[in-house]
Copies of this chain bind each other. A is one copy, B any other.
């Protein structure tokens, strides 16, 4: 098999279920006009991205995410996959598209009912209606449950009154709010007859056709940002703004003309999380975009490292820098992790598609999916931040020039670890879901919720396998249980080490948190707080494991022997570099002797050496159109 055939075989595996969407996007989006231009000022960047958005609207991709009943394409997986492909271009465009069709459109699609679908879905797909998603407030980012904005029902006029009570309740960082959006999906505490029913979403017009703020609405501009300057982030305050009762997105809760509140979901906390859960696609899309960003950076840095020479050999020839072990160590484990994360992302999208396409989604599956989406979003965005930074440094001075794209990629993706859920908070959410074993009764992520969750943790932790369960069982069984010094290159050993770590960390953190039971609130908080790092580690161990399982399943799907052998080594490098990163834990917990720890380092080095000749093949398999690579240093 030639290198190019191998890279095609790998690409097919990486492309996954929506390969046809990716292929079409590769030809349709291969347009340098979609690349970012970091030299534009904020005004020009915003105008350019709005123009690009209209180009995208005409491709038909945006419609895919909406149900056929509402004039959409009804293919959720295709919709998320095409967003991911968009991330090879200007990330401002990807975010602008995400706000318009994913968040604003998604709120209407998933939280609204027929009256909203009929009125808005068509025009928001076509961009006749530009919207924004007004959730975050100046004082409340992660803690959405405690938003300050109110929507108070006035039965005299059959209207809701939207109001910003104080500066901390101001809507902030809202994409589209500074300039283009004429309507906002506003998250606010719903109040009827003096009773607060928690956070709900309402549609509130904010600007007229000329772009002026409507009465009672004050928008302002977040100004220049560290990146994504093609997105017009802004702030909104409401001064007793009235909207008709029908403005409430009423799929999960409604208010009758007389002010009677009703909801099919009785528990307010569960209702809140159900409403947030419908917005899961945002997190999945950011994870996908992060993966795409990391792959662009790795393709550039690997291409450069394969050409660039520095320092001479004894025979006076100059050494290609990718021949240095230190340089292989910088790039190859990140390539392996990018493979792992793309396989996990594909599983996630596929699962989301199946669950959300079902007529009656299974609530257990839905909750499990939420946890997984949160975890993969966090891990994928951290990976992108780290990878793009490493690639910038690995390209030296050339990496610092905008013409080589890496700095813009770094700047634009930097907020991914923060938006759609701060990673540190998301990881706690993941741990909480695992520890409560998706219990029916859920608390928030506030301290009270944490304490409740602490006191309800299950006694026995169940590590549920997520992909290719039979294959994994077979691999684990193949490891002889007698020999304590299992071969680290055996897949079964790796799987066992990942599972065992997850189980152990979860069990010990559960034990620590259970001590909070029956303590007074202050003590319970102190116990939770001192275990916070442990909680985050539990989530990390979980995500690492499900990512490995996705990789193992992908290797199993590979039908060509030669390609499979290569992919096997990439999977080894992923598994062993994860274990190496957490080597101290494995030793501390007697899972790895000092001797085996040294073998581990040697094995990672060997894998790097072994994969080095395939480095270009591995990044070519990412299939990023040449036109979208956009780096002078790797132009042919």
- A interface, CB within 8 angstroms of B: 38-39, 41-42, 136, 139-143, 146, 172-173, 222-227, 309-315, 318-319, 323-326, 329, 385, 389, 392-393, 396-397, 399-403, 406-408, 410-411, 414-415, 417-419, 422-424, 444-448, 451, 521-522, 524-525, 529-530, 532-533, 536, 583-584, 587-590, 594, 597-598, 605
Query: Residue of B at shortest CB range from A521?
Result: B314
Decide: A402 and B225 in contact? CB cutoff 8 A.
yes
Query: Residue of B at shortest CB range from A326?
Result: B532
Contacts of A419 in B (CB 8 A): 397
Decide: B411 and A396 in contact? CB cutoff 8 A.
no
Give the distance in Å from the alpha carbon of A589 to the alpha carbon of B406 in the complex: 38
Query: Residue of B at shortest CB range from A597?
Result: B588
Given A314-B448, A319-B447: A422 in contact with B396 (beta carbons within 8 A): yes
Decide: B226 and A402 in contact? CB cutoff 8 A.
yes
Decide: B389 and A314 in contact? CB cutoff 8 A.
no
Give the distance in Å from the alpha carbon of A521 to the alpha carbon of B317 in the complex: 12
Give the distance in Å from the alpha carbon of A418 to the alpha carbon of B392 in the complex: 10
Shortest Cβ distance from residue A294 to the other chain B in the assembled complex, whole angstroms: 16
Q: How many copies does the complex hold?
A: 2
Which of B136, B392, B445, B530 contacts A226, CB < 8 Å? B392
Which of B393, B424, B605 contacts A417, CB < 8 Å? B393
Decide: A403 and B223 in contact? CB cutoff 8 A.
yes
Decide: A224 and B38 in contact? CB cutoff 8 A.
yes
Give the distance in Å from the alpha carbon of A529 to the alpha carbon of B423 in the complex: 37
Residue in A311, A403, A597 whose Cβ sees the most chain B Cβ within 10 Å: A311
Given A389-B385, A396-B141: A525 in contact with B594 (beta carbons within 8 A): no
Which of B41, B313, B418, B447 contacts A525, CB < 8 Å? B313
Query: Residue of B at shortest CB range from A445?
Result: B311
Contacts of A598 in B (CB 8 A): 588
Decide: B418 and A399 in contact? CB cutoff 8 A.
yes
Decide: A311 and B447 in contact? CB cutoff 8 A.
yes
16 contacts between A and B (CB under 8 A): A141-B397, A173-B400, A223-B401, A223-B402, A312-B446, A312-B448, A314-B525, A389-B389, A393-B418, A396-B418, A397-B419, A400-B415, A407-B411, A533-B605, A583-B584, A587-B597
Give the distance in Å from the alpha carbon of A324 to the alpha carbon of B526 in the complex: 9
Given A136-B397, A584-B583: A325 in contact with B532 (beta carbons within 8 A): yes
Contacts of A399 in B (CB 8 A): 226, 418
Contacts of A525 in B (CB 8 A): 313-314, 319
Decide: A414 and B407 in contact? CB cutoff 8 A.
yes
Decide: B172 and A324 in contact? CB cutoff 8 A.
no
Which of B143, B225, B392, B522 contacts A310, CB < 8 Å? B143
Decide: A143 and B329 in contact? CB cutoff 8 A.
no
Query: Residue of B at shortest CB range from A417?
Result: B393
Decide: A411 and B226 in contact? CB cutoff 8 A.
yes
Contacts of A389 in B (CB 8 A): 385, 389
Give the distance in Å from the alpha carbon of A406 to the alpha carbon of B310 in the complex: 33
Residue in A39, A323, A403, A447 whose Cβ sees the most chain B Cβ within 10 Å: A447
Contacts of A173 in B (CB 8 A): 397, 400-401
Give the distance in Å from the alpha carbon of A444 to the alpha carbon of B318 in the complex: 14
Decide: A224 and B594 in contact? CB cutoff 8 A.
no
Decide: A451 and B411 in contact? CB cutoff 8 A.
no
Shortest Cβ distance from residue A332 to the other chain B in the assembled complex, whole angstroms: 13
Shortest Cβ distance from residue A87 to the other chain B in the assembled complex, whole angstroms: 18
Contacts of A415 in B (CB 8 A): 397, 400
Decide: A536 and B605 in contact? CB cutoff 8 A.
no
Given A142-B311, A446-B312: A408 in contact with B226 (beta carbons within 8 A): yes
Residue in A401, A408, A525, A594 whose Cβ sees the most chain B Cβ within 10 Å: A401
Contacts of A313 in B (CB 8 A): 446-448, 521-522, 525
Shortest Cβ distance from residue A635 to the other chain B in the assembled complex, whole angstroms: 14
Which of B222, B401, B424 contacts A225, CB < 8 Å? B401
Give the distance in Å from the alpha carbon of A223 to the alpha carbon of B324 in the complex: 30
Shortest Cβ distance from residue A579 to the other chain B in the assembled complex, whole angstroms: 11
Contacts of A225 in B (CB 8 A): 400-402, 407
